[in-house]
């Protein structure tokens, strides 16, 4: 029997959260239509990718992801478990070229990337990088995302986005790629 807060249909269970801003789907579990058994989804895949990192890096990333999700209702999360690290991009759709931000994990740090960061006005000099378009901020902890200067950069990037994020849509995770060969996820 599903939890009373779950809405059930033939192919999925939805965990609903009731709050001051209305009803939200906060997790879903796909079901095999023939057996009705739950099938792991992208949320469990992402959790597995995060477990490859040290507890400290995973905790920083999870807290940063939670903050970004609250700042970006309706954003699609595009997950790339690549050779160099784990990147979770936030954008309006599945087009990587329209992603606005990403939280990227490396063995020793977590970064917030701005995909069009070179075009941002950064009076405090927080953004790192020298490429044509992308800039990043190393997150010592997720609280860095609450700093006014960082929030101003996030707001600026959202205003400059080619396609805005539709906050009326539900957030969703899409696993875009998993590299067969990967560098170690923990420091040597």
Distant-in-sequence contacts of 46-49, Cβ < 8 A, 24+ apart: 46/77, 46/79, 46/88, 46/173, 46/175, 49/79, 49/81, 49/86
Statement: residue 2 has pLDDT above 50: no
pLDDT of residue 180: 93
pLDDT band at 40 (very low <50, low <70, confident <90, very high): confident
Give dist(CA 126, CA 154) in Å, integer.
Answer: 12
Strand 76-81 with 172-178, pairing: parallel
pLDDT band at 188 (very low <50, low <70, confident <90, very high): confident
Statement: residue 36 has pLDDT above 70: no
Per-residue pLDDT reduced to its tens digit, 104-132: 999 999 999 999 999 999 999 999 999 99
Give dist(CA 183, CA 188) in Å, integer.
Answer: 11
pTM of the model: 0.79
Per-residue pLDDT reduced to its tens digit, 122-176: 999 999 999 999 999 999 999 999 999 999 999 999 999 999 999 999 999 999 9
């Amino acid at each position: 029997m599903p939890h009373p807060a779950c809405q059930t249909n033939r192919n999925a269970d939805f965990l609903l959260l009731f709050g001051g801003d209305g009803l939200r789907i906060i997790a879903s579990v796909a079901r095999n239509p023939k057996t009705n058994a739950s099938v792991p989804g992208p949320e469990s895949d992402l959790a597995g990718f995060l477990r490859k990192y040290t507890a400290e890096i995973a905790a920083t990333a999870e807290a940063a992801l939670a903050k970004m999700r609250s700042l970006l209702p309706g954003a699609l999360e595009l997950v790339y478990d690549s050779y160099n690290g784990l990147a979770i991009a936030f954008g309006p759709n599945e087009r990587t070229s329209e992603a606005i931000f990403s939280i990227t994990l490396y063995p020793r740090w977590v970064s917030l990337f701005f995909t069009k960061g070179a075009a941002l006005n950064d009076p405090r000099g927080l953004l790192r990088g020298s490429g044509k378009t992308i800039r990043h901020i190393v997150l010592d902890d997720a609280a860095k995302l609450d700093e006014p200067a960082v929030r101003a950069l996030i707001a600026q990037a959202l205003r400059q986005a080619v396609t805005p994020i539709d906050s009326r849509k539900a957030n969703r995770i899409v696993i875009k790629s998993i590299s067969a060969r990967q560098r170690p996820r923990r420091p040597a």
